[in-house]
């Protein structure tokens, strides 16, 4: 079990970063966060809050989007990683699972998983062993291993993308919106697997989620982003009990459950934006 009081080593440290798209659109306005080894850290926030941008800033995927980190620092194990290309970062142990679960549609599930091992140099036997490791967490992928990825379900594709990341033997996975477009039961299954991989393999997660409820149930610590700023952070348990989080993100209040529409109309009252 993860114990936040145990004073874990910090793997990833983001210090006051600013991200600008197309030279003019300021999207992240001084975001700082730290990701402890062995934990599940949740990056929360609604549509367009800046979650994906933060993950892409870490894994250096902003260039293709005409985005740039213009201020601040990003360190992994105390080393600056801003100049590192995504492949070198994978070798360092950091891999991103993109939003929208990108699998190679024309390859089979197993071929997709094997592409995840491309940066490895430790031989076929080790890769074969890890394929079995991945199948132990994702039995569904084993059943579907000969199927063309493009014909598998959304949940299976999410699993395939996560399994492929695991094949690089990462220390840290940046997981973007794993719940997107999946039925609640499947979302629960995916998060159970995240938990199992975190506990069983010791993989550290930084996961971006709009689904605050599930992310705070499985995450150990959370950061809430709004319009490119961290507006609140704390241990998941504390955030779950926080009245503002309950009202604005979990759709609950003293009076009981609120509909999303009600919550939206109450947004003006938000203390942290005042």
Phi–psi pair at 207, nearest 5 degrees: -120, 130
Contact track, ligand ATP, 61-80, x by CB under 6 A: ----x-x-------------
Stretches 46-54, 113-121, 163-171, 252-260: which one binds ligand ATP (CB under 6 A)?
46-54
> Which two three-digit tokens encode residue 128?
């074969």
CB of 228 to ligand ATP, least distance (A): 7
Is residue 163 near ligand ATP by the rule CB under 6 A? Answer: no
CB of 227 to ligand ATP, least distance (A): 8
User: Helix H segments across 221-268?
Assistant: 236-241, 243-248, 260-265
Phi–psi pair at 34, nearest 5 degrees: -135, 145
Is residue 25 near ligand ATP by the rule CB under 6 A? Answer: yes
47 binds, among ligand ATP, Mg ion, none (CB under 5 to 8 A by kind): ligand ATP
> Which two three-digit tokens encode residue 251?
């759709």
- Give me the count of residues in the chain: 274
Stretches 43-51, 122-130, 145-153, 256-264: which one binds ligand ATP (CB under 6 A)?
43-51
Contact track, Mg ion, 74-113, x by CB under 5 A: -------------------------x--------------
CB of 256 to ligand ATP, least distance (A): 27
Q: How far apart are CA 144 and CA 206, in angstroms?
A: 28
Is residue 30 near ligand ATP by the rule CB under 6 A? Answer: no
Stretches 19-27, 111-119, 235-243, 254-262: which one binds ligand ATP (CB under 6 A)?
19-27
CB of 49 to Mg ion, least distance (A): 8
Cβ atoms of 168 and 116 closer than 8 Å: yes
> Which two three-digit tokens encode residue 104?
């190679």
Per CB under 5 A, the list member of 41, 52, 157, 212 interacting with Mg ion is 52
Q: List, in order, residues 6 or more apart from 19 with CB less than 8 Å away.
A: 26, 27, 28, 50, 53, 54, 57, 62, 67, 68, 69, 70, 228
Phi–psi pair at 19, nearest 5 degrees: -125, 135
Between CA 65 and CA 30, with CA 23 as vertex, the angle to 5 degrees is 90
Q: Which residues are near ligand ATP by CB under 6 A?
A: 21-22, 25, 27, 45, 47-53, 65, 67, 99, 177, 210
Q: Which residues are near Mg ion by CB under 5 A?
A: 51-52, 99
């Amino acid at each position: 079990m993860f114990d936040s009081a145990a004073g874990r080593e910090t793997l990833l440290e983001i210090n006051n970063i600013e991200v600008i798209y197309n030279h003019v659109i300021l999207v992240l306005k001084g975001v700082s966060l730290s990701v402890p080894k062995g934990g599940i850290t949740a990056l929360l926030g609604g549509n367009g809050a800046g979650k994906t941008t933060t993950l892409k800033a870490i894994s250096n995927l902003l260039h293709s989007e005409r985005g740039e980190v213009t201020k601040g620092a990003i360190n992994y194990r105390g080393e600056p990683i801003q100049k590192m290309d995504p492949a070198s970062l994978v070798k360092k142990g950091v891999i991103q699972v993109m939003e929208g679960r990108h699998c190679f549609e024309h390859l089979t599930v197993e071929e997709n998983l094997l592409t995840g091992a491309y940066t490895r140099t430790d031989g076929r036997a080790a890769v074969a062993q890890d394929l079995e490791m991945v199948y132990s967490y994702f039995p569904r992928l084993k059943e579907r291993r000969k199927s063309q990825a493009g014909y598998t379900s959304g949940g299976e594709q999410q699993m395939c993308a996560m399994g492929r990341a695991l094949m690089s033997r990462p220390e840290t996975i940046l997981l973007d919106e794993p719940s997107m477009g999946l039925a609640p039961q499947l979302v629960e299954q995916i998060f159970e697997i995240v938990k199992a991989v975190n506990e069983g393999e010791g993989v550290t997660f930084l996961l971006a989620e709009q689904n605050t409820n599930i992310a705070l149930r499985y995450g150990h610590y959370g950061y809430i982003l709004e319009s490119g700023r961290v507006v609140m952070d704390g241990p998941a348990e504390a955030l779950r009990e926080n009245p503002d989080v309950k009202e604005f993100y979990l759709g609950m209040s003293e009076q009981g459950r609120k509909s999303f529409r009600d919550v939206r109309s109450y947004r003006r009252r938000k203390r942290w934006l005042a």
